Copies of this chain bind each other. A is one copy, B any other.
Amino acid sequence: MFGIDTMGLMDEVKFDRQGLIPAIAQDAESNDILMVAWMNRDSLELTLKTQKATYWSRSRNKLWLKGEESGNFQEVKNIYIDCDADVILMKVNQRGGAACHTGHRTCFFREVLDGGSTLQEQGKKLFDPATVYKKKSIGD
């Protein structure tokens, strides 16, 4: 059928040598990019099934349901795959308003200025990480 690929995502998707693929979470309303993390096959399947973004934490070496500790789940509205099938894009509703473990709305809160010599913080923290997370090692 025109424009329809019935092979399905799990046949098409290309994981890297570590079995991972980068996944972008984009705010479904503002289109702001919230974060980029990694998925393995299990986390991608769980994301499809539960409609909650589930990553693979490389630092903790385990499945990572985003929001499992903070309550800041990402409700997945749409999923896209790029032309060479090696990046996932999700449009999400970010519960709690902040995606970053630092308390910022987005992980991309530092702008590169002056040709790269300055990194300037943008925006305010929406929560205090110390009150939201019990342990230090969070995320990727």
Q: Please report the C-alpha to C-alpha distance between residue A101 and residue B84 in the assembled complex, in whole angstroms.
A: 10
B4, B78, B109, B110: the one contacting A121 at CB < 8 Å is B4
A interface secondary structure, majority: mixed
- Contact of B26 with A33 in the complex, beta carbons under 8 Å: yes
Q: Please report the C-alpha to C-alpha distance between residue A35 and residue B117 in the assembled complex, in whole angstroms.
A: 26
Query: Which B residues touch A71, using CB under 8 A?
Result: none
Contact residues, A1-30 vs B (CB, 8 A)? 3-10, 12, 22, 24, 26, 30
Q: Please report the C-alpha to C-alpha distance between residue A31 and residue B85 in the assembled complex, in whole angstroms.
A: 21
Query: Which B residues touch A30, using CB under 8 A?
Result: 31
Check A136 for interface membership: any CB of B closer than 8 A. Answer: no
B5, B84, B119: the one contacting A8 at CB < 8 Å is B119
Check A66 for interface membership: any CB of B closer than 8 A. Answer: no
- Contact of A100 with B83 in the complex, beta carbons under 8 Å: yes
Query: Which B residues touch A87, using CB under 8 A?
Result: 22, 36, 107-108
Closest-by-CB residue of B relative to A81 is B110
- Contact of B8 with A117 in the complex, beta carbons under 8 Å: yes
Check A63 for interface membership: any CB of B closer than 8 A. Answer: no
Query: Which B residues touch A107, using CB under 8 A?
Result: 82-84, 87
- Contact of A120 with B83 in the complex, beta carbons under 8 Å: no
